[in-house]
Amino acid sequence: MVVIGVTSGKGGVGKTTVVSNLATALAEFGRNVVVLDCNLTTSHIALHFGMQHVDNSIIDVLKKKVKIQEAVYYNPIASVKIVPSTLKQMEEVEIKNLKKLICRIANSRKDFVLIDSSPGFGNNVKNVLKASDKVLIVTTPTFPSLADGIKIAELAKKMKKEFFVILNKIRNKKYEVKTEIIERMFGVKINVIIPEDDKIPESIAFGAPVVVYKPYSKSAVAFKKFAASLIGEEYKPSFRERIEWLLGRALS
């Protein structure tokens, strides 16, 4: 089992989008995937998967109102299990013993557990990092997002957690910070770049990850390549994917 905590420091950079699509892409490669929504205050995982209503949430589990198994929902479109947070009134709950909870729902060697975190550097973000085997830092190529991403990287280093960086919403504009500079800032190689893609907000409005909503879009292909790299497989785009990707580039 591999637990990946997805964080960013700055809000709105694409954590939930990355979690929902990476989970779906890993499931397409035959992995068992569980997604945990640990953004307890501005939780959106359920909405990204088109779930408008859930009876039990991770907050009920943390408050010991229900067992974690009672808050696991299978999403048939994405073939992913989801432990959502609540869409109701904001509730302040401390995330404790997360690793123990995770072990109750995922223990097979091939399982992936992806945790969606809230932005910032509060206790709940630290608890997500603590429970994670690997930390995935999402950033955009802009200084405010990079500055906060670097703070998360420092935190991960202090906690002796392996981290990697995903660059999201790339538009290849002159004002964007260059990838080489970002690599120097973090001290790691960036091997995941997700382009800015209108198909992503479109997919959220539709209520499904872009990987299933538009499987041949440039962002979906980037997520599938990333998922493949995580499991040591090579992703070979089909002929149709290559044509659609080229068309997308020509039109952008």
The contact set with Mg ion (CB under 5 A) reads 15-16, 44
Handedness of CA 32, 40, 46, 232 (dihedral sign): negative
Q: Considering the complex, what minimum distance in angstroms separates the CB of residue 158 from ligand ATP?
A: 22
* DSSP assignment letter at 177: P
The binder of 219, among Mg ion, ligand ATP, none, by C-beta within 5 to 8 A per type, is: ligand ATP
Burial class (CB in 10 A: 0-12, 13-18, 19+), 48: buried
**Binding to ligand ATP by residue 31, rule CB under 6 A?**
no
User: How far separated are the first and last CA of the chain, in Å rounded?
Assistant: 39
Q: Residue 81 and residue 35: Cα distance in Å, rounded?
A: 6
**Binding to ligand ATP by residue 39, rule CB under 6 A?**
yes
Q: According to CB under 6 A, which residues from 207 to 226 bind ligand ATP?
A: 219
Per-residue contact track with ligand ATP, 157 to 196, x per CB under 6 A? -----------xx------------------------x-x
Contacting residue, 4, 9, 17, 25, with ligand ATP by CB under 6 A: 17
Q: With respect to ligand ATP, which residue has the nearer C-beta, 4 or 32?
A: 4
Beta bridge partners of 124: none
Between helix 218-230 and helix 199-206 the angle, nearest 10°, is 90
Q: Helix, strand or coil for residue 123? A: helix
Q: Considering the complex, what minimum distance in angstroms separates the CB of residue 24 from ligand ATP?
A: 14
Query: Residue 74 to residues 51, 169, 238, 240: CA-CA distances in angstroms?
Result: 11, 29, 28, 30
Q: With respect to ligand ATP, which residue has the nearer C-beta, 42 or 172?
A: 42
Alpha helix segments (H runs only) across 36-86: 45-48, 58-62
Beta bridge partners of 81: 34, 74
**Binding to ligand ATP by residue 15, rule CB under 6 A?**
yes
Contacting residue, 25, 32, 35, 44, with ligand ATP by CB under 6 A: 44
Q: Considering the complex, what minimum distance in angstroms separates the CB of residue 219 from ligand ATP?
A: 5
Beta bridge partners of 117: 38
Q: Considering the complex, what minimum distance in angstroms separates the CB of residue 37 from ligand ATP?
A: 10
Q: Which residues bind ligand ATP (CB under 6 A)?
A: 8, 11-17, 39, 42, 44, 119, 168-169, 194, 196-197, 200-201, 204, 219
